[in-house]
Every structure is written in C-alpha cells, then in structure tokens.
Amino acid sequence: MARSLVIKVTAGADAPERCNQAFTVAAAALASGVSVSLWLTGESSWFAVPGRAKEFSLPHAAPLADLLDAVLAAGRVTLCTQCAARRNITVDDLLEGVRIAGAPAFVEEVTAEGVQALVY
C-alpha cells in the first residue's frame, strides 16, 4: 500500500522558515510520487488567497508561490474553516483548487490507513 502525507502548516510570514519547510516537504513528496494533502491553518491561511504566496520571501528558499503551485497541481490544499472565518476569507476569495474544510475532515484524513501526518 502506498503511504500518503497530510501536512498541516500553522506558520506564515510570522515564522518564515517553518512555513517554507512545510511547503518544501509537500512539493518534494509530490515530486517523489507521494500523495499529499496540505492544510493551511493559522497564519498560513493567507496563502489560500491569490497573490499572497508571491509576497512571501525567504532567502535561499524556493519561492513559496512555486511550491504552492506544485501542490495545487498534483495534491490537495485545504484551508481550515475556523481559520478562514477568523480572517474573513470566504470561498470567493480562494485560489482555484483550494477548498475549505474543518476538523472532522482533517481527522478523517490523518486517521486513514497508510497516512503520515506532519505539523509545521
């Protein structure tokens, strides 16, 4: 059975290295043929909105927008329901391919057989 990754990123521009690590691992896993579901929570929620990932910059790191594009192309990206609501982000504000879902969906994903969950 193939294993898959669920990656929850809680950091954004407030902790750029941790944030970029999550996106880098997600993109690298996809490039290696691993199924990936990336959850945007906390300050990373803003990256579900067009243009926000392009504003992010971290020296010596792949551009966050490129990493996000890779995940959107080959994996799944989910924005936390409560995190979206706290930031007044609605489905009309999202990048194409991003969905909004809550804790029940997260729990379902991370408890599935063959899943490894990582939190950044």
pLDDT digits (tens, 9 = 90+) for 16-41: 999 999 999 999 999 999 999 999 99
* DSSP sequence for 17-57: HHHHHHHHHHHHHHHTT-EEEEEE-GGGGGGGSTTHHHH--
Instruction: List, for residues 3-12, the tens digit of each pLDDT value.
Output: 999 999 999 9
Confidence of residue 76 (pLDDT cuts 50, 70, 90): very high
* pLDDT value, residue 9: 98
**Which backbone phi and psi does 29 adopt, to 5 degrees?**
-65, -45
Location of structure tokens 């995190």: 83
Average pLDDT, the chain: 97
* pLDDT value, residue 78: 98
Q: Could you tell me the pTM of the whole model?
A: 0.96
* pLDDT value, residue 1: 60
Task: Say yes or no to pLDDT of 94 above 90.
Answer: yes
